[in-house]
Each structure stands twice: as C-alpha cells, then as structure tokens.
Chains A and B, each alone.
Chain A
Amino acid sequence: MTATLRLAGVGAAPGIAIAPAWRYEEGGSAAAADGVAAAGRPAAPDPAGSVRAAAETAARELEALADRVRATGRDEEAGIFDGQALLAISPTLVDDAVERVEMGAPPPDAVAAAADAAAEVLAALDDELLAARAADVRDVGARIARILRGEELRLPAASAIAVADDLPPSVTAEIPAGLLRGIVLQGGSRTAHAVILARSLGIPAIVGTSGILAALDAAGRAAGGGDVDLAVDGDTGEVVLAPDAAERAAFAARDAALARRRARAAAARGRPGATADGQRVLLVANIGTPDDAPRALEAGAEGVGLFRTEFLFMQRQAPPTEDEQVAAYRRVFEAFGPERPVVVRLADIGGDKGIPYLRLPAEANPFLGVRAIRLAYGDPELLRTQLRAIWRAGGLAGVVPHVMAPMVATLDDVALLESLRDDARAAVVAAGQPCADAMVTGIMVEVPAAAFLAPELARRVAFFSIGTNDLTQYVMAADRGNATLGHLQDALHPAVLRAVAGVVAGADAAGIPVAVCGELAGDPAGALVLVGLGVDELSADAGSLDEVRVALAAVSGEELAELARGALAAPDAAAVRAAAGVLLARAAAGPEEAGPAA
C-alpha cells in the first residue's frame, strides 16, 4: 500500500476525477526502441526513402485524425491537425531530415533534429501566433520519428488521468474520448492546448503541479509497478496520490455536489435570465475579442453587454485601419445576429495604457487624466474612425449596433459623442458604403459626476451601463491596484450601492434601461443586490453566467428588493455580503433540497 501524498497545482479546468494515473513521456520509450532496432532489426536499405515514406504516413494519419476530430464537432481542433498534416510533408522539414540521414544520423534522430531546427526558426519570428506553431512542428517531428521506429503511440487502455510534463495536441486527441478522465501537467499553462481540450471535454485539468512526475515514479515503484490512483480537483488544483478511503469519499462527495450544480446550470441555460417570480433580467456577456463570441453564445448569453475594443488598439505601432475594425466588429455582430444586441464600448485608452502612436504626455494621475472620451476633445479622429467602422459593420451584418462611451462625466461629453456619431454616419453615407439604419447610443457610468447627473444624462442617451470597478475606485478614492486598500475596494460597499441606486432612479425617471458590466455583475452575491436595486441587465464573463442565472432563479423579486433596502442601510460591504449569502445558500441547496441542512 502506497502512502497518500498531496500536491498542489493550479486548477485550469473544473471537475473532479478519481482514476489510475497514466504517465506520458515525450519521445516515449525511444531509447529502448532504438536499442531493439540496433540489435534485432536490419537497417533499412534506403534510409532517406524511409524518411520520406514515414513523413507521408504521418500526413495521412494526421488527415484522418483531423477528420475524426471534425466529426465530433471540434472544428478548431481539427484545424490544428490539418495544419500539422501539411507540416509533415513540408520539403523544408523532410529535405533537412534526409540530408542529416545522408550525413550518417539515424533516421528518427535526423527527423527530430530537423523538426527542432524548423521550430526554432518559427519561434524566432516576431509573431506570437507563428511562434506557437513551433510546438506543432516538434509534435509532427515526434510522430514521424515514432513511425520510423516502428512504434505505436502508447495510449491508456482503460479510464485514466493523464500525467505529463506537457501533453502535445496529437496525443491528447488520440486518446479515445471517454477514457480520458483528467489531465495533470507538471509544467504547462492555463492556455495549454491540453487545457482547452479538457474544458471542451468537461474533464478536470491541473497545471504547474511541481513534483508530480517524481512523486508518481516513486509511488509506482512502491506499488511494484502497479497502477497508482489519483484524485484531482480542477477547481482547487489539488492532486492526491494514492488517496485513502477517507480522501476518496471526500472527493466523491465534491463530485456529486458539482454534478448537481452543473445539471441545474445546464437545465437553466436555455432559459432567459429571470427571478423565481418571473422578473426579467437580461444576462449578457463581456467579451474582449471576436474569438470570445462562441464561448459566450455557448454559455447562453442573450447578447453582449460589453465588447471591449482595446485589443484593436494595444500592442502596435500604428492605429488600426477602419477596414480592420469593420472586419472585427462584423464578426461579432454576425455571431450574435439581429436578435441579440451587442454593445460596443468605444476605445477606453490613454493615460495608464501606453499607446505609442497616440504620443500622449505622461501624467501624474493617469486614472484622473486624459483617457477614453476625453481624448476626443484634442484628437477626434480616433473615435470618429471607430464609429465609422461600427456604422459600416452594422450595415454589412444587418444589425443595429449599440455603442457606449467610457469615462463620460458631463453633458458636454454626451454632446461630443453625438456629434462624432453623426459625423461618422454622414461620412459613411457620403462614401456610398453600407451603413446601419440606426445606432443605439449609451454611456458608461463610472465617474461619480455622471452618477450625480444621472437624471439629466438619462434624457440624452438610450441606456446606462455602470462600470462598478472604476465607479468603486472613484467613489472610494481607492486605487484598484493598491493591495493595502482592500477594505475600500469591494463594490458592495453601501457608498457604491447608493451611487448605483441614484443612477437607477435617474434612468427610471427617463424610462431607459440600466446595465452593470463590472465584475460585481458576475459575482452571484453582487448580482442579487444589483437586481434588487432595480438593475435591468447584468453583463459578465461567460464563465460566470451559469451561476448568476441559477442564483436569480431561486429568489423572488420582492426578496431581492428587501435585500437591496437592507444593503443601502448596512454599515459596510461585509454586512451586505453576509445578507446576500443567506439567499445564495438557498439557491445553492436548490429548491427541492431546501431542508434542515440549509
């Protein structure tokens, strides 16, 4: 019996699993196999020809793998293997390997060396996406080398948790679905390919688990070469080797609770956001790039409440062209269609975010300086171009774009926004380009001045979207990044909530909707309080929508209004959280299970 050992990694994909470990090693049993080949198998009569044949075989295997993966609906992953199939027969790779063979290198080593050289060329290019393909080239090289050694890819034969330093995409994809119960990496990052696969399969993944390989080897020896079981928790990053009966029971209980939560969330997914008594709350997603759109739709987002556009403007030497912006906005508009509104936030840049081509002077207090809409007083062209691109993208996609300006403080800011919007439309129409029929124009409320002016601002715009992160920082005069000011950074502080209540009152008087797109909207406790205060729409990261939807569905509008009344009068944020926690505990227990335990 092996002693139980507990290791800590970083949870990267949620879920619980208990299963035997299956150890994957880069290059597998390369040394042993080469020994066998040298001793028992005659050298191939035509080593150069064998390299070319193995490359062709690898390409065919990869095409077949792409087809199999595509048949399960994982198109993006299939694209990886289409690309790998082309790399396998790339003359740059194959000719280099053949040359090395002709110089006397054993064919598998020659291919591996040629792949390393090609990978280094890609990694050295000043292009992040191409550099990431270096791993694909090495993966392809390993496959061709394995074919040359006459080896099969060693795969688990029964349900297992894969343990490796890193798992190349072609290995994870070859493991029959259903057998792979979890992934534990000693290295890796939260964006490793294996992690993305784990999320799509709904199995746990843990990365950065230092010591796991050595511990597993030691446990394997202690078990006399037999299986070593693992228990893993993809939320907490816990990995337990050879769990004892008590550990197994604890993980099984967590697994059951997670399964209940997931089943309830999945059942609620198709339904629009609402309280138990049917008060509608629009649940929409925050997205950072067009690539985030599919995940948001999958999570049941009823639209996009915050499409951040900074990705277009950052990390480059010149501003993005209008055409480039049209393409990005159009992709998102088309993904959500005319029934699910997308709110584009105009570029929130300047001040603290270094944008070299804007040539802005350094400021002592960038968060109180020239950023976002304030930039347009001196340099209107940046936002005017962005608005032209949004008009055009809306026209091409056949939708009415929603737009909001960040950092609005005064009625003058709204007048500036309106004139930029109208100038942009006139320019698009004059150029004879496709143009959206209308644009719904709103503002972010994150500056205290805008919260105080809410009644006046509400008569000028079509909607408010409260950015609770910045609003909290400005109301409490507490830098978001200063770790010693934690007690002033909780957006549930009654001071911030009173500002929200004032904004809602101003909006109600003018009959416009209020959204919240800060982190508070994706925090179930925050969501309950905000809806109680009269907020109509919550916009959060796609990953938070399930929990918020389930929490709302468990409580009535009247209970939330009462929670909000108490919150406004509470002494501090902790008291508000405690009160919201009582309602949340009931949501977590589920309506059918509310009993003595709850």
Chain B
Amino acid sequence: MRTLEIEIRNPSGIHLRPAGTFVKGAAAYRSAITLENVTRGGRAVNAKDALAVLSHGKAARGDTVRIVAEGEDEEAAIAGLQALIESGLGETLE
C-alpha cells in the first residue's frame, strides 16, 4: 500500500473538469485507489468513480487530500497521480 498527501492548488479546487481529469488518470492503473479530503474530513471514495469523486471528493484550493493505492502498480499510480495534480489537472496553475 502506498499513500500520498498533497495540497490542491487549482483555483477552484477539484471540481468538475479537474475532477474528470483526476478520475480518468486514476482509471489508468490496475490498483485500487481511494481519495480522501484530509482538511475537511469525510470518507475515502473510489478515485475511479466519477460520481463518487464529484459528490463526496470535493476539495477546495488549499485543501490537502490523501490518495491511497493498493495493487501491483501502486507505486506507479501514486507517482503518476502526484505528477497529474502538480501539473494542474489540465488547468493552468500560477
């Protein structure tokens, strides 16, 4: 099992289109992956489930999220998702 805690820097957080980019990115790995908003509390949701991430995985700018991956490609999944979030999930960061 691998864990990553990372701050969201997108202007409107993980929301709509950035959420879609994140889910699509997570779906590319075979590992089971969950997303949890550490700043706001709440439950860990399936990172590959668009509806779950939209309704329960919402994160505002400045929130810290925890991503947990478990499976054969867990290391690649964590590295890949970290790079995806740092690159702005398809949005331009300052």
A residues lining the B interface (CB < 8 Å): 79, 82-83, 86-87, 89-93, 118, 121-122, 125, 127, 129-130, 133, 137, 323-324, 326-327, 330, 396
Contact = CB atoms under 8 A, between A and B. Distances in A.
B47 to A, nearest CB: 11
Given A121-B55, A122-B55, A87 B11 contact: no
B24 A91 contact: no
A93 B23 CA distance: 15
B34 interface: no
A146 to B, nearest CB: 20
B54 A122 contact: yes
Contacts, number: 53
B52 interface: yes
Interface string B48-65: 111110110010010000
A327 B94 contact: yes
Interface stretch (B12-20, B36-44, B70-78, B79-87): B12-20
A125 B20 contact: no
Contacts of B31: none
A146 B9 CA distance: 40
Contacts of A79: 17
A392 to B, nearest CB: 9
Contacts of B94: 323, 326-327, 330, 396
Most chain B CB within a 10 A radius of its CB, from A86, A137, A324, A326: A86
Contacts of B16: 83, 129-130, 133
Contacts of A330: 94
A83 to B, nearest CB: 5
B94 to A, nearest CB: 7
Nearest to B46: A91
Given A82-B20, A122-B54, A130-B55, A92 B11 contact: no
A79 B17 CA distance: 8
Nearest to A124: B55
Nearest to A118: B51
Contacts of B15: 129-130
Contacts of B51: 87, 90, 92-93, 118, 121-122, 137
A127 B16 CA distance: 11
A90 B50 contact: yes
Contacts of B20: 82-83, 86
Nearest to B52: A92
A396 B92 CA distance: 12
Given A91-B49, A130-B55, A327-B94, A86 B24 contact: yes
A84 to B, nearest CB: 9
A83 B49 contact: no
Given A82-B20, A83-B20, A91-B46, A327 B11 contact: yes
B57 to A, nearest CB: 11
B23 A86 contact: yes
Kindly name the residue among B46, B50, B55 whose own CB sees the greatest number of chain A CB atoms within 10 A.
B50
A432 B81 CA distance: 31
A433 B94 CA distance: 12
Contact of A86 (B46, B50, B58): B50
A122 B54 CA distance: 8
A128 to B, nearest CB: 11
A87 B94 CA distance: 30
A170 to B, nearest CB: 16
A137 B52 CA distance: 12
A92 B43 CA distance: 15
A463 to B, nearest CB: 29
Contacts of A82: 20
A130 B11 contact: no
Contacts of B48: 91
A172 B20 CA distance: 23
A410 to B, nearest CB: 37
B55 A87 contact: no
Nearest to A127: B58
Nearest to A95: B49
Nearest to A323: B94
28 contacts: A79-B17, A82-B20, A83-B17, A83-B20, A83-B50, A86-B20, A86-B23, A87-B50, A89-B50, A90-B51, A91-B52, A93-B51, A121-B51, A122-B51, A125-B55, A129-B15, A129-B16, A130-B15, A130-B54, A133-B16, A133-B54, A323-B11, A323-B61, A323-B94, A324-B11, A324-B61, A327-B94, A396-B94
Contacts of A129: 15-16
Of A83, A137, A326, A396, most B-chain CB atoms within 10 Å: A83
Pairs of residues from A and B, 5 with the lowest C-beta to C-beta distance, nearest first: A86-B50, A92-B51, A90-B51, A327-B11, A90-B50
Nearest to A321: B61
A241 to B, nearest CB: 40
A118 B48 CA distance: 16
Contacts of A127: 58
B52 A90 contact: yes
Contacts of A137: 51
A330 B20 CA distance: 24
A137 B51 CA distance: 9
A417 to B, nearest CB: 27
A138 to B, nearest CB: 12
Nearest to B91: A327
Contacts of B24: 86
Given A83-B20, A87-B51, A90-B51, 10 more contacts: A83-B50, A86-B23, A90-B50, A91-B49, A92-B51, A125-B55, A133-B54, A324-B11, A326-B94, A330-B94
A330 B23 CA distance: 28
Given A122-B54, A122-B55, A92 B17 contact: no
Contacts of A121: 51, 55
Nearest to A96: B51
Contacts of A93: 51
A396 B94 CA distance: 9
A391 to B, nearest CB: 14
Nearest to A137: B51
B11 A90 contact: no
Nearest to A92: B51
A330 B11 CA distance: 12
